[in-house]
Structures are given as C-alpha cells and as structure tokens.
C-alpha cells in the first residue's frame, strides 16, 4: 500500500510566475501537483499551502508555523514534503531540525532554481525525488533534497546562486544519492533518543557578524544592547583581532558581563573552527566565555542558538545544549 505524504507549500521560485516586477510566487499547492502526475505511482498525496512568499521574506515565526503544521498532521501521514524557496532553505532545514527532534517520519525540504511552470526546470525532478525519498523505508528526520542529493537538514548550504546543483553537504557526507531508478543511502539517521518532540518557541535575537579588516569593535556595543547572542564569522580556524587600535577582545568582556552569548564560527565553508590553534583564538577562548561553532554550518549555529535561547540564557546551559549533537549537526 502506498504511503500517505503531506505536501506543505510556502512559495519560493518553484511556485513563482513572471510579473511586471520580476518572479513572484503565484502557483498554489494543487497546481504544483498537476505538474507531477507521476507522483501518483509513488504515494498518496494531500497538499496544504501555508505561505506564498519569496524565501527572502522568511521569518523565524514562519518556522514555528511549519513545525505547527507538521505537528497537527503528524499522526495522519507517513511523511512530509515541504516546498520552499532556495535562498533561505538551509536556515529553515536547520531550524526544523531543532524544532522537531527524534522524528520517526521523514520531513523533506525541497525547491527549485527555475519555476515549475518553465519549459526547462529542475522543479519536477526535485519534487519527485523528495516524494520518493520520503517513501524510502527507514528514512526519518529532516532532510533537504535537491539535484539528486539528500542532505541532512543541519548540514545543507546553498553554494550556487543559479545552477541546478545549488546545495552541498558541509563537513558531513550527503545522506543519499537519488536518480530515476534507485536511491543509494550513505548515512543512516541518528539513533532516536525517544519519541518525537516538538518545540513551539524560538528567540530571534541572534546577530550574525562577519568580520572584515578595518571593522570597529564598537559594533559589539550595539549588538550587546539589542541582541541576546552573536555569532561572529571570523577568519580561518577562528580568532578575533586584538592588535593596534581595533581590539575586539576588550569588547568581549563587556558582552559576556551583560550575559550575552558569543559564538565564533569561521568564514571558511569547510572543515570548521578550532580556536585553540592560534593566539588570536586561544586568548578569546580562554579569557572570556566564548563558544565556538566547530564544524557546524553558520545556518545551524544561528538557528540552534535561537532554539536554545528560547529555553535558557544561562551560559552553562547554553554551552551544554550548543555542544549536544542534534540531527548530526556537530562532530565532537
């Protein structure tokens, strides 16, 4: 008997149409299904549209809406496919990995680089691949499926702005390869720690700061006054400048005294951070309550902090939760 899958649509390029102001979402959930009649041979599908936005307009509150929709329908379906714009899909995949933990059913995000209504498009393949992967035995948890790859939800990053192969798995193997005839799985899901858990709170007061030479440390004063945490994208394996007149270390003490959480990540896409190697990282790590992202993607680090800070702002508890592995987000 075919599995029953719920398609949840949110807009994005996959559902966009040309307007006088450029591409904008205009294809509804039922119309999307009409473009992939072959899905009937894969599974039974119901569809619901909860948003119709360009994913540039995504907000953390919408992640809660997505999680709520899945929660309300969880017992009625064998899995879920969520169509989404590509620009922020990696953030959404990571966020849902924290808002829905230990799922025993697949939650698959997908989208397209071209609208499904275009004569030449990647949309139909990505949707059909997503339904096929959602029906594969043993698949559970959050994944992003795109251009023949299934990527663990916390490990996806958009690395190409126009090409079909837009997403890569960062610091972790792709979970599966998908083509018309087969699904080859490389990574099994994490062992479940218990029944599925849904969370209904998130704290969006997380700032992402990308360091550049010449940046004034005073920016941290503003961040400390308006945000609960900052993720600093530093250079190389992670470090903060302290030489000459632009001393970021002097500002860290003020931030941490205010109870703000500081996490240092790296601007380098692959291999992650290790602040213990160089003095510029070692000083920050050992003199102040600074955490580091290690091999987490920036998208995972940001959304994980948002989930954590909705639960606690205590440094010790934040540290413990940040360094707890969830949906393969961290290899410690």
Q: Is 27 a catalytic residue?
A: no
Distance CA 305, CA 228 (A): 10
**The one catalytic residue among 9, 10, 13, 110:** 13
- Please list, residue by residue across 187-202, b when 16 or more beta carbons sit within 10 angstroms of its beta carbon and e when fewer do: bebbeeeeebeeeeeb
By the 8 A CB rule, do 3 and 44 touch? yes
Q: Is 312 annotated as a binding residue?
A: no
**Bridge partner residues of 47 (DSSP):** 7
Cα–Cα–Cα angle for 59, 62, 66, nearest 5°?
A: 145
**The one catalytic residue among 9, 69, 86, 154:** 86
By the 8 A CB rule, do 169 and 156 touch? yes
Q: Is 52 annotated as a binding residue?
A: no
Dihedral of CA atoms 255, 270, 184, 112 in degrees, nearest 10, equals 70
DSSP sequence for 27-79: --HHHHHHT-GGGGGT-EEEEEEEEEE-GGG--HHHHHHHHHHHHHHGGG-SE
Closest CA to 95 of 313, 310, 317, 314: 310
By the 8 A CB rule, do 250 and 217 touch? yes
Distance CA 191, CA 189 (A): 6
DSSP 193: -
- Three-state DSSP state, 134: helix
Closest CA to 293 of 219, 204, 230: 230
Q: Is 86 a catalytic residue?
A: yes
**Bridge partner residues of 169 (DSSP):** 156
**Bridge partner residues of 124 (DSSP):** none
Distance CA 153, CA 144 (A): 6
Q: Is 55 annotated as a binding residue?
A: yes
Tokens of 70: 């899945």
Binding residues for substrate: 55, 86-87
Q: Which residues are part of the catalytic machinery?
A: 13, 86
């Amino acid at each position: 008997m075919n599995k029953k899958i719920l398609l949840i649509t949110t807009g994005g390029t996959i559902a966009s149409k040309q307007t006088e102001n450029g591409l904008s979402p205009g294809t509804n959930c039922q119309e999307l299904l009409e473009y992939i009649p072959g899905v009937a041979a894969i599974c039974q599908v119901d569809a619901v549209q909860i948003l119709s936005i360009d994913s540039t307009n995504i907000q953390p509150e919408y992640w809660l809406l997505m999680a709520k929709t899945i929660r309300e329908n969880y017992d009625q379906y064998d899995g879920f496919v969520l169509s989404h714009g590509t620009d922020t899909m990696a953030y959404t995949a990571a966020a849902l990995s924290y808002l829905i933990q230990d799922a025993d059913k697949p939650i698959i995000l997908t989208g397209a680089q071209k609208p499904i209504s275009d004569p030449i498009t990647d949309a139909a393949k990505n949707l059909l691949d997503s339904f096929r992967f959602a029906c594969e035995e043993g698949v559970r948890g959050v994944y992003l499926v795109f251009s023949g790859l299934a990527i663990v939800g916390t490990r996806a990053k958009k690395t190409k702005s126009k090409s079909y192969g837009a997403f890569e798995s960062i610091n972790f193997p792709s979970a599966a390869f998908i083509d018309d005839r087969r699904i080859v799985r490389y990574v099994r899901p994490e062992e479940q720690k218990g029944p599925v858990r849904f969370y209904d709170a998130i704290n969006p007061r997380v700032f992402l700061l990308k360091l550049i030479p010449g940046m004034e440390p005073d920016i941290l004063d503003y961040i400390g006054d308006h945000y609960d945490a900052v993720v600093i994208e530093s250079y190389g394996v992670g470090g903060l400048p302290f030489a000459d007149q632009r001393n970021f270390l002097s500002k860290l003490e003020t931030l941490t005294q205010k109870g703000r959480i500081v996490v240092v990540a790296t601007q380098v896409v692959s291999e992650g951070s290790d602040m213990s190697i160089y003095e510029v990282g070692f000083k920050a790590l050992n003199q102040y309550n600074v955490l580091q992202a290690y091999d987490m993607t920036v998208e995972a680090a940001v959304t994980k902090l948002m989930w954590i800070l909705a639960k606690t702002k205590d440094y010790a508890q934040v540290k413990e939760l940040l360094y707890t592995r969830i949906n393969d987000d961290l290899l410690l």
